[in-house]
Amino acid sequence: MSTDRPAPSRACEAADAGRRAVEATATRAPDARRRAVEAAGEVRDPEMPMLTLADLGVLRGVEVERDADGGEVVIASITPTYTGCPAMATMRDDLVHRLNDAGFDRVEVRVVLHPAWSSDWISERGRAALHAAGLSAPGPAPRRAGPVLLTLSGPPRPAPPCPRCGSAATRLTSEFGATACKALYRCTDCLEPFEHVKEI
């Protein structure tokens, strides 16, 4: 069992701080908003169910507004991890369902396209959950000034340690995996394949 996961990046700490701020606001805010934030915060990612949408950084905000008749409307905002993410419809339906169950009859789910999702937004709690489920968490997202460089040879990133046995002897199988956000690796020590959430 490995405990040498990469130290959280600054951006990741910022994401955690952001999440704590949302939760702190929720505890101060009126009861309805707190309940809405709690309910939305329980919804899990359909493709990586060890993560909540909040821990994945996909849930960008939960507000409770009043319409002209004084009725409560929950506005939940989500952003896609990848442009073609086919799970957006399921996420929307899961949010609506969970908020309905929490007593909010009217729920509106909005799409936020800017800023684009970054793997840096996965919270520390989310990274621990990925690791516990045998997935390799992303390192810091690439920062660059100027054009994107073409990488014709060599590994696209330092090989991540095996999330099962902790060995550093891992090799990239493919940059594309079972979902848009993951690459495929294999461990040459324990011989198990594993998935790595890509840095973007």
Partner 1 sequence: MSDEHGSVFDGLLGGDSSQWAFGTDFEDPLAGVDTTTPGGVDPAELAAYCLMLGDDALIISQRLSEWCSRAPDLEEDIALANMALDLLGQARLLLARAAAADPGVVPALPEGSPVPPEDALAFFRDDRDFRNVRLAEVANGDFAHVVVRLLLFSTARLALLERLRTSRDQVLAAVAAKGVKEVAYHRDWAGRWFLTLARGTEESHRRLLAALDELWPLQGELVAAHPLEGSLAESGVGVDPASLREEVDAVLDQVLTVSGVPRPERAPLAGVGGRTGRDGLHTEALGRLLAEMQVVARAHPSGRW
The one segment of 6-14, 35-43, 92-100, 158-166 that binds partner 1 by CB under 8 A: 92-100
DSSP string computed for 22-54:
HHHHHHHS-HHHHHHHHHHHTPBPSSSTTSBHH
CA distances from 17 to 14, 22, 34, 45, 113 (A): 5, 9, 18, 21, 22
Beta strands in 12-156 (DSSP E): 59-66, 72-78, 107-111
| Backbone phi and psi for residue 37, each to the nearest 5 degrees, phi listed first | -65, -40
The one segment of 18-26, 37-45, 88-96, 123-131 that binds partner 1 by CB under 8 A: 88-96
Q: Rounded to the nearest 10 degrees, how much is the dihedral formed by the CA atoms of 31, 56, 50, 168?
A: -150
With respect to partner 1, which residue has the nearer C-beta, 57 or 80? 80
The one segment of 7-15, 66-74, 76-84, 122-130 that binds partner 1 by CB under 8 A: 76-84
Q: Which of 100, 102, 124, 157 binds partner 1 (CB under 8 A)?
A: 100
Instruction: For residue 115, state whether it binds partner 1 (rule: CB under 8 A).
Output: yes
Q: Which of 2, 7, 133, 176 binds partner 1 (CB under 8 A)?
A: 176
Q: Which of residues 1-30 bind partner 1 (CB under 8 A)?
A: none
> Nearest approach, Cβ of 110 to partner 1 (angstroms)?
3
Q: Using an 8 Å Cβ cutoff, are 136 and 6 in contact?
A: no
Interface with partner 1 (CB under 8 A):
77, 80, 82-86, 88-90, 92-94, 96-97, 100, 108-117, 147-148, 150-153, 156, 173-178, 180, 184, 198, 200
